[in-house]
Structure formats: C-alpha cells, structure tokens
Structure 1
Amino acid sequence: MTGLSDQALNRAYLSRQCLLERRSASAPEAIEHLTGMQSQAALAPYTGLWTRLVDFQPDELSQLMYDRAVVRLSLMRSTIHLVTADDALGIYPLLREVHQRNLASNQTLAPLRASIDVDALTAAGHRLLAASPLSGSALGEALAKEFPDYDPAVLSRAVRDLVAGVQVPPRGIWSKGGQPITTTLESWLDRPLTPYSIDTLVHRYLAAYGPATPLDMQQWSGLTHLTEVFTRLNLRTYTHEDSGQTLYDLGSIPLPDPETPAPTRFLPAYDNLYLSHTTRTRILPTHHRPHIFTNNGIIKPTVLHNGYPCATWTHTKGTLTISPFEKLPRSAVATIEAEAHNLLDFLAPSSPHQVSWAKDQRG
C-alpha cells in the first residue's frame, strides 16, 4: 500500500474541504458535499461557506433555510448541523442509536430513564412538536402536564435525543437570529424519514474527509462497528507513514501533490475541519490544540496559513482581531491581513474596517 505522510493528508483534506481553492458551487451543493456543517454557533456556516466558495452571499443561505431546502438539527455527535433536507431525512435514522446512546449516558437524565415510559415520552414529544414549533421551556411545560412527576427541563432535554427536531427560522438567519424554536423534521419538510444505507454514508464521509480510518468516521458521526463496513466495501487503501494505520478512500478521487500551495483561510468556530478524525495531526499540530480547544468545549475561529492553523480570530463591529500562536514571518502577516480585509468585506460591508493583532507576534 502507498504510504501517506501528514503533509499529504493535509493537502488531500484541504482539497476535499474546498480550502485549497474556492469552488464555483452553490451553497446547497457545498453543504451536500460536506455532508453537513457544524452549526453549534448558529451563524458559523455563513463564514464556513464564504471561505470555501466563490462569490457566496449570506442571503443565499438564509433563503435556503426559509425555503426549507436546508435545515438545522442535531445529527453527527448529537450536535447541531446544517444539512440539506434530503440529507436530514436520510442521515437522521442512521444516527438514532447515537442519540439514544447519549440519552442513556447523560447523568442528568438518569432518574428519568429509570422510571419513565420512554416510548410514551417520545410519542408525546413528537406530537407536541409536530403540532407547533416550541421553545425548550415551552416544550418542557407542555410535557410536564402529561408527566407531572418530572422536572420540565429534564423532560425537554430528553426529547432532544428522542425526536428529530429542526430549529426553525429566524434561528440561524443572517443579521436576524433568535432563540431555538423546534418542530419535528417530518412536519417541517412534510416528508417521511427515508434512511440512507450505511454504505452510502461511508462513501459520503470519505468524499469530504478521506482518506480515513473507520475510527475517524466514528469520531465524526458517533456510529460504531464501522470496520466491517469499510472492509466490505471496495475501497482504495493507503498506509499512514507514522502510525502504520490503514487509511481507506474512494478510488475515484486523486490525491493532490503534497507540496501544493495552501492559501490563507479564515474558519469559523466549531468548523468540521477539526472534529472529523480521531487523530487530527493532518490539520492540527498537537501543540496548537490548546490554543483552539478550550476546557469548556468551545472551538475557536481559526486562521489557516500554509495549511495549518496559526492564529485564532474574533470580530466586533468591523474590527477583526487576530491572536497568533507564535511569531509569524512578515510575508505571512501581509497575506493574513489581506484575507482578513476580504472577510470584513463579507461580515461588515457597511462598517469601517480595521484589522488588529492581539499581541505583537509579527516578524
């Protein structure tokens, strides 16, 4: 088997994530290719699409949400993702066991699990959310009328893992936003769940995140027992030069030259780039992880330079502040500042622009 270095995997990964060059694709095409975008930070996918696509405009994604062509719901790893309507209906049934496993392991829900009729709670939650979109607190109050012996907040939290619930607009709408209001996926789309095969999901994962191992896909999805699926499929295999692990891939996708130049890119908070492999050295040097992943579970917005994160960034009222991990050469500073101004044109087109550095680490 051909050996692949982290550098080769880095360029392959950036290419599949539309980060070696911006793609001339529509927002739904990109979201489908990526098999969803992490949307824990409700507006993060807008920046994630801007950094990946040619001429992306926020109104395109907002209209897709209003048109119900894309939706926001809990999917991979039981976290909120932005996906196409078809993918939501196809992927959710495959991940139902992941959500139920999360319900079983959540210590806050332990007293409820021990005594409640879970099927009855599921049916009640589905019925209430299908009848009308509800906030978490309103759902809890309605459920407490049927299950008066339980804490409304705990009932509402449990239903998140039992029912496919879509967060409806204006949540996730550019320049608007709002609190999470949820209805059922089936009622929002007026279509039934239509599960994909696990084979299809493996192929979709590898198209956006490969070459990868079964454990990598488990990290991305939360699914288990994937090795037998990978080995059953007719996949190309490589060997990771450092670990010796077997990496699987689609035979139809060529790998880019490992020395392909990687442009500067700004990524939003919680970008899938950092969440989709067990070992992240292809994209995240171990010594830089503490700069990005906080102890309370936040994954900061980052700057990629030469294919790897070199800084985090924040934006407030037209000012984009860059916090580098270490001293950067002048050439890198100039390139990063130029792309920062491009991002400000997108984030705050009518505001005065300013790029600042949180600490002087410029060469």
Structure 2
Amino acid sequence: MPNPTVLDVRSLNRATLARQLLLDRSALPVHAAVGHLCGLQAQEPQEPFAGLWSRLRAFDPAELSDLLTGRRVVRTHLMRRTVHLLTAEDVLAWRARFDTMLRQRVLGTYRRELTGVDLDELAAAGRAVLADGEPRSMGELARAVAARWPGPGSRPLGEMLIAALIPAAQLPPRGLWRTKGGVRNLPLSAWLGREIEPLAEDDRPLVRRYLAAFGPAATADLRAWSGLAGLPAAVKAVREELVVFRDERGRELLDLPEAPRPDPGTPAPVRFLPAFDNAILGYDDRSRIIDDAHRGLSVAGERVVLVDGRVSATWTVDGAAVVVRPLRRLSRPERGEVAAEGSALAAFLSDGESDRVRVETP
C-alpha cells in the first residue's frame, strides 16, 4: 500500500474553509446550512447570525428566527456540553448518543456536590415538574426539586437536569434576531412534538456528517468536536469507504472521497467569525486555521477575523462601528479587504443604519 499523501497546513486550511462555507458564500437555505455544519455553537444567542452571514449569500436573519419559532431548529446542550443550534431532525437523531457524555461532563464539574444523588430519581423528579408544559428556567426547575435534595444547591441540580438528564430546548425569544430573552426550557419531545430517537447502534452516519463539514480530520478531531469517546468502532467500520492522508505532524487524517479539497493556492476572502465558532473549535489540532500562539482566543469567546484563511485579528462592536484589532501587521490590500468586509458586517448588524469600521494598528 502506498504511503498516504501528506497535506500541508494550507491544503487543510482551504479544505476546512470549503467545508465550512467560508471559501465561497453558499446559496444553501438557512435550514440546510445549519444541517450541513452539524449545528452552530450558540451559547451566545446572537452569534449564530454573524456566523451564517459570513457563510451564506443574502442571509436574512428573519429566516433563522422563523426557523426557531417554527420549531425547525432548536437551541440545546449537545456537543461538548455546550449550547448549539441544530436542526430538529439532527437533535432528535443524535441526542441519545450524547447522553452519557453529558452526564459525565456535568459530574466532572459537580461530582462532590452530587455525591449520593440518584440521577435516575433526579431525572424523574425533574420530568414530573415539567409535565405541566410550563417552560422553566434552570434555577426554577432546580428549586422545584431542591426539597428532596437540599444538599447540592440549585446550580449543580439545575445543570445536571437541563444540560444532561432531561433533553431540553431553550425556547424563543431566546436566540431570536436582535431580541433579548432569558433561558426558558421545555423537554425537546414536548417542544418538537416528536420523541427522541432510540440510541443508534451505528455511529457511521455521525462520522460521515462530521467529515463532510470538517474533514480531512483525525479521530482526535472528531472526539474534540463531539466530546464523545466511543467512536473508534464507527471509524473502523466506515474506514474502507474513506480516503487516508497524513498531515505534516504525521497524524492520520480521514476524509470522504468526493468531498472538496481545493487547491492550496485558492484565494481565501476575509471572513468575520463569531465567538466560539466551530470552524476553530471543531478540531483537536487547530493549527490549520489558528496559530498556536493565539489558540486561547478560540476558547475565550473572542470574535476573530480570517485573513488569507487564518485567524489574523479579533473584532468587536463599539456603538454602531465594527472595530478590528489585528494580531499581526496587515498589508495595505489586506487592510482594505478587512475594512470592506467589516463595513458590510456593520451594516448587517445595524440593519443598515451604519457601515462604520475601524481597523486599528497591531
């Protein structure tokens, strides 16, 4: 068997941009884009709008709001125990597979507080409270069962119930465009009118979906994106239908044969990414898109700017202006492109009231 082709960092970068709809803005409908991306990181409620604006042509934020109120996309805890925006179909199909991981992650934070709490009994008590169909905050649900478990406190009880034991949807107005709203939860099955699918014995579809949106990737990258440890069997089962590469560090990378892997010389336009974007967080080795020196930005909630496909600046909003803070010296053409894209973003975020952008000196 010949040695696998080595893909350099730039080749991996362009493949990632293509899969993440960041090389060319896509004409996909919003629902299809959310599905293709395997969901969007959404613990900050307004961030998915900027993420989709950077990925889709003529993105209308009202479309995403309508999908939320129409119960076709949903906000819920899933990958890595973080809040994601997913299609209803995906969350119903995937949620059972993530159940054990979600419990373990909450216990990893609150094991001492939850010692002696029977989690099955806690889940049953929480479901009984929510059976009246009334949405509740995490704190309200925790306080409703606290008389039975007075020791742990409301935060550990609430997080275990909402982030792990009871598959729950965060209801609108949370997550609607330019709307503020507290977190109110209902069981997913009650909100979507459909039951969560039983635990699937075959994880191969999940592996294929990840590679379609993030490949070429290593099994460690798949684990970092999902938070799941039990996927080696699925990778082994699907391996014969995949192509194999290696990166410059010698890691084995797997991919779908027909997935796009653009020429590394393909120009990459400036793109503004929201906080916690999965184009960065969806990998264990993030060197394809962000320098190791700046890796902490991706987990600190910084919004970042891609220049030539790599994280090269951060951005914030000051009043109605987008403010860009470069991480390196930008060439004059790069500054011009950053300013133009930032101006367009400012107009989007302000509903056309401002196109002001300020690119600072690094």
Counterpart of 1:171 in structure 2 is 174
Counterpart of 2:97 in structure 1 is 94
User: Of residues 161, 167, 186 in structure 2, which corresponds to 1:159?
Assistant: 161
Residue 111 of structure 1 aligns to a residue in which SS?
Answer: coil
CA distance in 2, matches of 1:191, 1:47: 30
Q: Report the Cα offset of residue 44 of structure 1.
A: 0.7
Counterpart of 2:18 in structure 1 is 15
Contact 1:43 1:172 (C-alpha < 8 Å) held by counterparts: yes
Deviations 1:83-119 (A, max 9, x none): 000101011111111101113312x34232x212211
Counterpart of 1:125 in structure 2 is 126
Q: Report the Cα offset of residue 230 of structure 1.
A: 1.3
Q: Where has structure 1 moved over 4 Å in runs of 4 or more?
A: none
Instruction: Using the TM superposition, name which of 275-284 and 348-357 deviates more.
Output: 348-357
Counterpart of 1:287 in structure 2 is 293
Contact 1:235 1:249 (C-alpha < 8 Å) held by counterparts: no
Q: Report the Cα offset of residue 148 of structure 1.
A: 4.0
Aligned pair 1:272/2:278, yes or no?
Answer: yes
Deviations 1:329-348 (A, max 9, x none): 11000011001111112100
Contact 1:317 1:348 (C-alpha < 8 Å) held by counterparts: no
User: Of residues 204, 210, 214 in structure 1, which corresponds to 2:215?
Assistant: 210
Deviations 1:164-202 (A, max 9, x none): 111100010111121111111111111111155411100
Q: Give the AA of the match of 2:32.
A: E
- Structure 2 alignment gaps of length 5 or more: none
Aligned pair 1:262/2:277, yes or no?
Answer: no
Please show how residues 196-345 of structure 1 align to structure 2 within 5 Å. 196=200, 197-233=202-238, 234-290=240-296, 292-293=297-298, 297-345=299-347
User: Residues 194, 243 of structure 1: CA spacing in aligned structure 2 closer, same or farther, 3 A cutoff?
Assistant: same
Contact 1:143 1:156 (C-alpha < 8 Å) held by counterparts: no
Counterpart of 1:351 in structure 2 is 353
How many percent identity over aligned positions? 37
Residue 339 of structure 2 aligns to a residue in which SS?
Answer: helix
Q: Give the AA of the match of 1:170.
A: P
Aligned pair 1:39/2:45, yes or no?
Answer: no
Q: Give the AA of the match of 2:229.
A: T
CA distance in 2, matches of 1:312, 1:111: 38
Deviations 1:338-360 (A, max 9, x none): 01111112100243332113x42
Using structure 2 for the length normalisation, give the TM-score: 0.94
CA distance in 2, matches of 1:334, 1:149: 58
Residue 127 of structure 2 aligns to a residue in which SS?
Answer: helix
- Structure 1 alignment gaps of length 5 or more: none
User: Residues 254, 340 of structure 1: CA spacing in aligned structure 2 closer, same or farther, 3 A cutoff?
Assistant: closer
Counterpart of 2:140 in structure 1 is 138
Instruction: Using the TM superposition, name which of 249-258 and 165-174 deviates more.
Output: 249-258
- RMSD between aligned residues: 1.5
CA distance in 1, matches of 2:293, 2:157: 41
Q: Give the AA of the match of 2:106.
A: L
Contact 1:163 1:184 (C-alpha < 8 Å) held by counterparts: yes
